[in-house]
Every structure is written in structure tokens, then in C-alpha cells.
Amino acid sequence: MDNKLRIAVLVSGGGTNLQAIIDKIADGTVTNTEIVGVISNNPGVYSLTRAANAGIPAYVISPKDYASREEFNVALKEKIDELRVDLVVLAGCLVKIPEILIDAYPNKIINIHPALIPSFCGLGYYGLKVHEAALERGVKLSGATVHFVNKDLDEGPIILQKAVAVEDGDTPKILQQRIMEQAEWKILPEAIDLIANDRIEVVEGKVRFKK
Ligand code: GRF
């Protein structure tokens, strides 16, 4: 009986986090998991090429293609329902996740944020802006966080974090790349593997490893 964790990966751009998941399923680092779909809110992004190269069904579901935000929200949820998804993975996804999806998938949506939450997160902190703020503040450590998604932006229960040193002379681009390489591409697949193998649970709003 194939009881693999069925994941849909939501993307908006280049898809390096998606690629890390694809590669770690292929090399056996991530077990018991199947990517049943990639959903992008943007057409023509390299994430879609990565999905095609891996033989994974890909869909473009963009707010621009719907008469209202509500219709987009419904279409996104319907696609995820249709794919019989167990876990929604936001990997470089910049679209606002609809409350109807969050309500339907409690603690079944995870996100990678390129900072150590609660630092440099929330409204306006995405992509390079996160790293600009970290460098502006002069932190010596930044990193990445994987967390469950709830209705409060970047506030859901934290699953994994990994710290990365900020080095003299770092630009936002250099810091972003180091955090992706040393943190994001490691902890997002690791979080998926933990969930796929039923290793964690959420108790009173906090993630803990099962005994
Ligand atoms: C990266 O800055 C990542 O930290 C954030 O989205 C951006 C693009 O990620 N989550 P990807 O290359 O599309 O996975």
C-alpha cells in the first residue's frame, strides 16, 4: 500500500527550495514522500522547468487569471483538494495563502522563511528585504526557519531553524545565497521528512518531537 506523504509545493520563482526537495527525495534523504504537484502563481518561472524536468505535474494558478481574489482562493484550494494533498509546502511562495486553505489544512501547510523567526519576519519581510534588514541591524547570525502556517503571517509553530553566520562585507545577495545553501535547502527537506515519518506533533502551539 503506497502510503507516502502526498505533498504539493507552492512556488513563485526560481525554485531552488523545490529543487532541494526533489533532489533529497531522489537521493533517499527524504523518505516516504511524493510530490504530487507544483503550483506556481507566476507563469514562465524556472520552478516550472524544474518540475517538468522531474516529471512532476505543474499548474499555474494566478490571482491575475480570476475576476476576484475569492475566486482565486477557491481555485487554489480546489486544486490542492483534487490532488489529495497531505502537506502543502510553501517554497519561495509569495502569494497570500487564503484563510479557507489554512482552515481546511490545519498544521498541514509549512513555509520556509529566510530568517530566524521572530526576527525579520511579518509584513514586508520577503526575499532580499529580509537580508537587507538583517545587514542594516548588524546581526552576526541570521538563518532560516521552517514553520507551520496559520492565519498570522510567519507566526505559526516553528518546526526547525538553522543559524548562519553573517560575514563582514556581506551584501543582501551574498547573505541570501549563503542562507539558502547552508540552511533553507537543508531544513525544508528535513521538516518534510519529519512529517512524512510522523516524528513531530504540535502541542499547545509548540512543535515537539514524538517520543
Ligand atoms: C528565497 O529568498 C527564499 O529564502 C524564499 O524565497 C526566495 C526564493 O526561493 N523562501 P526559491 O529559490 O524560489 O526556492
Q: How confident is the model at residue 29 (pLDDT cuts 50, 70, 90)?
A: very high
Q: Is residue 91 lining ligand 1, measured as CB closer than 6 Å?
A: yes
Distance 2 CA to ligand 1 centre (A): 31
Q: How far is the CA of 176 from the centre of ligand 1 (A)?
A: 9
Cell of 192: 518534510
Contacting residues for 94 by C-beta, under 8 A, at least 6 apart: 12, 13, 41, 126, 127
Q: Return the active site residues.
A: 113
Q: What is the pLDDT of residues 166-181, one digit of tens each?
A: 999 999 999 999 999 9
Q: Ligand 1 centroid vs 50 CA: distance in angstroms?
A: 14
Q: Which atom of ligand 1 is nearest to the CA of 17?
A: 14
* pLDDT tens for each residue of 89-148: 999 999 999 999 999 999 999 999 999 999 999 999 999 999 999 999 999 999 999 999
Tens digits of residue pLDDT in 34-93: 999 999 999 999 999 999 999 999 999 999 999 999 999 999 999 999 999 999 999 999
Distance of CA 206 to the CA centre of its chain: 19
